Amino acid sequence: MLLATKLSGRRRSVLAVVATLAVLAPIGFLWQRSLVPNDLSPMSMGYADYGGGPSSMHVHHATDVSQLTGPVDRTPDVAVDLVARKERFDLPGRGPTDGYTLNHTSPGPRIVAQQGDLVQVTLHNENIVAGITLHWHGVDVPNAEDGVAGVTQDAVQPGQSYVYRFVAKDAGTYWYHSHQVSHDQVLKGLYGILVVQPTTRDVIAAVHTYGQVRTVNGEYGERRVPAPGPTARVRVVNTDNGPMAVWVDGAPYKVLAVDGADVNAPTEIRGRSVLVTAGGRIDLEVPTAKAVRIGLGGGPTTLVIGNGDAPAGPEPAARVDLLSYGSPKPLGFDPAKADRVFRYDIGRHFGFLDGKPGLWWTINGHQYPDVPMFVVSEGDVVRMAISNTSGQVHPMHLHGRHVVVLSRNGVRATGSPWWTDSLNVEDKETYEVAFVAGNPGIWMDHCHNLPHAAQGLVTHLMYAGVSTKYHLGGAPGNQPE
């Protein structure tokens, strides 16, 4: 009796071990498969997606991204030295905070160039142990100047320098930020503003949230600037991870530009706000005969232009819809004659990422780094449908090329061509966008909610015939997200 009990007890424990293994083995397999190699070429990441175009593309010689530089011998028109540091700095109106600076300030020095200028920025890393880079958000730079660690360069280590050179060929509102461990470095201040071809009537409103503190131009609370003339071009830059509504109290306004690209025939707006995507820019035209207040997402931080009292209202419930704002004009290409058609379906599932269990983002059902690499040839007309069923909003950012919005949820765009580099894709939305592949390189195509990017919502657009010698991970510790 005693023996029988012992045997069945042993059998039970064997069964328990078998049952446990049956559950654990597949989990172990998924865990093991999710590990991200510590030294990974962005070219061997995931799998090639040819978008219905040819997969065998005749290439006479391969180009490494490091060869795709800006002009090497021209004298720069604008030359800036930026020294990056990890240090404590002051947020006027709020007090000291720990983070990252460029030349002891955050945001870093404002870089202003005339259209056509050759901009040269020499970046020095004084003491940021993880290494740094600078990415020129929204500027269609040559690939080697794009500042993505592990794709277009190695992270710049403490004591090292790196020179960026590019022609500022498109006037507009842009910003720059680190693309190395960016979910930490950008959040804590490693960014600045770049304006190409300013008018004398410019007002900058660069919004950044340090911890829980929303600031404008690095300052907290109601800030004031003088009226630059009878009207002001207010360049709003959202450097945060989430979208922000912007509106004007005290005057009607127009949306002059989106993500650095002019709106065709903008009309006057009253009683409505306009959404600025995370990473995005919106330029407003605001009459400034009387003091006006720029509402920046609600909360205590606003920008008042001019002297005297400016009304302070709540965020208008109605929004400007950029799908129908302004008037149409020719795109310069025919999206109906696409050479490649891609889908970029953003989802979320339970799984392992680099050995960590969690709810992780997916692209076309695949999880980082096993994601589609969108492959194009130079000159291709490309269409892409970006859809989102992940339960959260994603500000989608393609490097190197603006895209034009064709439709949202099947509703065709009827307003001004809506050229964008930072597109707010809400849950259950589908945007169809198009562009001409005219800037060879290997370009990140990722969510600009930087923690989401760090959680794997990242892939690349690759031109046939372009390779990169840089690696993700590896000795320089490249970690662009």
Determine which helix (DSSP H) or strand (DSSP E) holds 27, and give its type and residue range.
helix 2-33
Q: How far is the CB of 455 from Cu ion (least distance, A)?
A: 8
Q: Which residues contact 141 (CB under 8 A, 6 or more apart)?
A: 70, 164, 166, 400
Query: CA–CA separation, 325 vs 159, rounded Å?
Result: 49
Region binding Cu ion by CB under 5 A among candidate stretches 51-59, 82-90, 324-332, 440-448: 440-448
Query: CA–CA separation, 85 vs 156, rounded Å?
Result: 12
Please select the residue that binds Cu ion; options are 153, 217, 277, 449, rule is CB under 5 A: 449
Residue 120 or 241 with smaller CB distance to Cu ion: 241
Query: CA–CA separation, 149 vs 165, rounded Å?
Result: 17
Which two tokens mark 246?
């912007």
Q: How far is the CB of 428 from Cu ion (least distance, A)?
A: 14
Residue 273 or 449 with smaller CB distance to Cu ion: 449
Q: How far is the CB of 182 from Cu ion (least distance, A)?
A: 13
Residue 86 or 452 with smaller CB distance to Cu ion: 452
Which two tokens mark 377?
């040839």
Q: How far is the CB of 447 from Cu ion (least distance, A)?
A: 3
- Kindly calculate the radius of gyration of the chain based on its CA atoms and give it in whole angstroms: 24
Which two tokens mark 372?
């589609």
In total, the chain counts a number of residues equal to: 481
Residue 436 vs residues 62, 63, 337, 339, 443: alpha-carbon distances, Å: 21, 20, 11, 10, 14
Please select the residue that binds Cu ion; options are 165, 340, 452, 471, rule is CB under 5 A: 452
Which two tokens mark 1?
């009796």
Query: CA–CA separation, 430 vs 390, rounded Å?
Result: 12
> Rule CB under 5 A: which of 370-399 touch Cu ion?
394
Q: How far is the CB of 131 from Cu ion (least distance, A)?
A: 24
Interface with Cu ion: number of residues (CB under 5 A): 4
Region binding Cu ion by CB under 5 A among candidate stretches 49-57, 299-307, 333-341, 452-460: 452-460
Q: How far is the CB of 386 from Cu ion (least distance, A)?
A: 11
Residue 85 or 399 with smaller CB distance to Cu ion: 399
By the rule CB under 5 A, 446 interacts with Cu ion: no
Residue 258 or 447 with smaller CB distance to Cu ion: 447
Q: How far is the CB of 135 from Cu ion (least distance, A)?
A: 17
Please select the residue that binds Cu ion; options are 263, 284, 353, 447, rule is CB under 5 A: 447
Alpha carbon 67 to chain centroid, angstroms: 24
List of residues contacting Cu ion (CB under 5 A): 394, 447, 449, 452
